[in-house]
Amino acid sequence: MSDSLTPSNQDYLKHIYTLSANGVPASTTDLAARLGIAPASVTGMIQRLAKAEPALLYYHKHQGVTLTEAGKRAALEIIRHHRLLETWLVQTLGYSWDKVHEEAERLEHVISEEMEARIAAALGYPVRDPHGDLIPSAELIMPDDDLTPLSALRPTQKGTIMRVHSQDASLLRHLEGLGLVPGAQVEVTSYSTYDGNLTVQNNQTVAVIGIVITSRIFVKVL
């Protein structure tokens, strides 16, 4: 399927998958914002993808967009490429986690299935990428993720950071400086009822962080 799709097609499917992951159809407005193009252009493309053979998505005017089973598999394939590439760039080529997203964006559309399989094998079949995002299996199944946002923890709860949901390079560098990276163990030492700020301690720093950041960090509660 992916061989017949253009990079633009794949980007649409990938972003629709992400935007509709909570079970709510993706709106054309949100999709346009994510892709950085005009809503009218988005509407034209999703209409074409809905009429493809097989159809890749369901679209009803003013009701948003969801993926068909074929569209979901195509989206998961490109997501798998992207996350395996990010992992390979960090583990093999020494990239930092804040510099891999754009490289993977370029490469995800062009690697072969053989190269994908070789990368996965060489890395030991990783389950998560450098940011902690789950990697779809070779069978294009997304594993379940049972994590808790750091924002939900209260003193004196502890957790291991498993995922940081951000592609913002400056934020990733900031979190790395605080030691708030996947694998780090943290303890919440105080909570502000006024603004939702948490004071978080690890073996490297003590930091006060707001809900904009804590809602993007996901932990396994200890």
- What's residue 2's pLDDT? 55
pTM of the model: 0.91
SS3 66: strand
What pLDDT is attached to residue 1?
A: 52
User: Using CA atoms, how far apart are residues 163 and 161, in angstroms rounded to an integer?
Assistant: 6
Query: For residue 176, what pLDDT is reported?
Result: 95
List the Cα angle 103/16/143 in 5-degree steps: 75
| pLDDT given for residue 3 in this prediction | 59
- Predicted pLDDT at 41: 87
pLDDT one-digit tens code per residue, 84-94: 999 999 999 99
Which whole number is the average pLDDT over 20-39?
89
23 confidence band (pLDDT: 50, 70, 90): confident
Residue 64, number of CB atoms within 10 A of its CB: 20
Q: What is the CATH number of domain 148-221?
A: 2.30.30.90
The helix/strand/coil state of 51 is: coil
Q: Classify domain 1-145 at the CATH topology level.
A: Arc Repressor Mutant, subunit A (1.10.10)
The first and second tokens of residue 30, run together, are: 């949100």
Cis before 214 (ω within 30): no
- The arithmetic mean of pLDDT across residues 143-166, rounded, is 96
Residue spans in the chain of domains classed CATH 1.10.10.10: 1-145
Residue 120 has pLDDT above 80, yes or no: yes
| pLDDT tens string 197-213 | 999 999 879 999 999 99
CATH 2.30.30.90 domain extents, the chain: 148-221
